[in-house]
């Protein structure tokens, strides 16, 4: 695009900024509650809502309370929710069998949400880290996070979630070949309408710390995830990963983290035109919350500005812990 403008004063670019009605007319991007996916954390028990200390305002909830939260989301126009399980160290093993247990916290939450709110879109997380005593997204053998054996387990996990009623499967593990394997298994089990939102470009980021607290993985993790998550220095590699996952059957793709990787979001959208999402991760959320709690920033304005940045970068939607608060503002 090569815009042509008459020289000043014939062109005064401030003319289209002079009042709110005109700014609305020429606004290039918009944000709605329908653009937001709300991540929630589910744990065992009943009647429980416990705060996550490193994520002010975020709760771990028992299944009954997750259903109540989903109803709150629907009431403000947030139509999609992503379920993450919290598991204590006593629930974790090296075999990770809880990951595909039909009655684990996540699968019970999926069934309960869909029973109460059939039109709510339920997304899941597919990775072994919340069930693994080692805290890794895959099996650990002799210090190595192994790929192919892990993919077999991820397929079982995805099938259990689809059977529970999940609408969107979210493989976040970054193992090679898992999208093709999961898509084939879903087709073979007559879950052809279940979507895959692949965490295609997930970086080995320091912004995930509070999330690991929320799911109980901080104390479990041994080593780091740099052999399977992406190097933050790379961007061309992200395009190769997105291309691979789309070719294997992903319906949508994710860039994670969000704000530090807006350049990746833009490159992905421009290159492929596929539905593109970003995850405004726990560290991003916690920094905004902490600064606002200290009166260093205007929370509402920064929250909304950060979410608009995702839309401006080409994202079709965003996973964000701000989903309900943002939706309420958008509806006001």
Per the CB < 8 A criterion, the answer to whether 168 and 195 are in contact is yes
Backbone angles phi, psi at 315, to 5 degrees: -70, 140
Which one of 65, 114, 202, 311 is the catalytic residue? 202
Bridge partners, 126 (sequence order): 171
3-state secondary structure of 232: coil
Pairing between β-strand 59-62 and β-strand 49-51 as defined by DSSP bridges: antiparallel
Query: Which residues neighbour 303 within 8 Å (Cβ) at sequence distance 6 or greater?
Result: 288, 322, 325, 326, 329
Active site residue 65: no
Q: What are the Cα distances from residue 94, in Å, to 84, 132, 141, 221?
A: 19, 6, 10, 12
Q: How far apart are CA 263 and CA 93, in angstroms?
A: 38
> Is the alpha carbon torsion for 296, 297, 303, 305 positive or negative?
negative
Per annotation, catalytic residue among 65, 114, 225, 256: 256
Catalytic residue flag (residue 256) = yes
Are the C-beta atoms of residues 156 and 100 closer than 8 Å to each other? yes
3-class DSSP state for residue 317? strand
Give the N- to C-terminal CA distance of the chain in Å, as an integer: 36
Give the C-alpha separation, 168 to 198, whole Å: 10
Q: How many helices (H) and strands (E) does the chain have?
A: 11, 12
Which tokens go with 84? 């993450």
> How far is the C-alpha of 322 from the C-alpha of 59, rounded, in Å?
13
Give residues with Cβ within 8 angstroms of 265, minimum separation 6.
Answer: 255, 258, 276, 278, 310, 313, 314, 315
Q: Dmax over Cα atoms in the chain, in whole Å?
A: 71
- Could you list the active site residues? 202, 256
């Amino acid at each position: 695009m090569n815009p042509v403008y008459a020289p000043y004063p014939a062109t005064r670019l401030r003319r289209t900024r002079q009042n709110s009605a005109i700014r609305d007319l020429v606004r290039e991007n918009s944000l709605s509650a329908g653009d937001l996916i709300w991540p929630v954390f589910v744990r065992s028990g009943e009647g429980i809502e416990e705060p996550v200390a490193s994520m002010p305002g975020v709760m771990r909830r028992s299944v009954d309370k997750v259903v109540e939260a989903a109803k709150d989301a629907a009431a403000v126009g947030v139509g999609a929710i992503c379920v993450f399980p919290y598991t204590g160290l006593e629930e974790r093993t090296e075999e990770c069998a809880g990951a595909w247990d039909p009655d684990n916290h996540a699968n019970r939450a999926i069934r309960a949400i869909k029973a109460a709110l059939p039109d709510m879109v339920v997304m899941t997380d597919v990775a072994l880290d919340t069930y693994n005593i080692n805290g890794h997204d895959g099996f650990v053998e002799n210090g190595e996070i192994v790929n192919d054996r892990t993919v077999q387990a991820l397929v079982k996990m995805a099938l259990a979630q689809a059977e529970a009623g999940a609408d969107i499967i979210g493989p976040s593990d970054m193992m090679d070949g898992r999208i093709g394997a999961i898509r084939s298994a879903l087709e073979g089990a007559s879950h052809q309408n279940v979507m895959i939102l692949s965490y295609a470009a997930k970086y080995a980021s320091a912004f995930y710390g509070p999330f690991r607290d929320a799911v109980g993985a901080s104390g479990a993790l041994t080593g780091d995830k740099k052999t399977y998550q992406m190097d933050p220095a790379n961007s061309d590699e992200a395009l190769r990963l997105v291309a691979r996952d789309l070719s294997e059957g992903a319906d949508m793709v994710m860039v994670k983290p969000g704000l530090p990787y807006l350049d990746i979001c833009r490159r992905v959208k421009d290159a492929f035109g596929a539905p593109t999402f970003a995850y405004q991760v726990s560290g991003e959320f916690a920094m905004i919350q902490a600064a606002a709690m200290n009166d260093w920033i205007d929370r509402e304005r920064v929250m909304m500005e950060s979410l608009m940045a995702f839309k401006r970068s080409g994202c079709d939607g965003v996973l964000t812990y701000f989903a309900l608060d943002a939706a309420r503002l958008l509806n006001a």
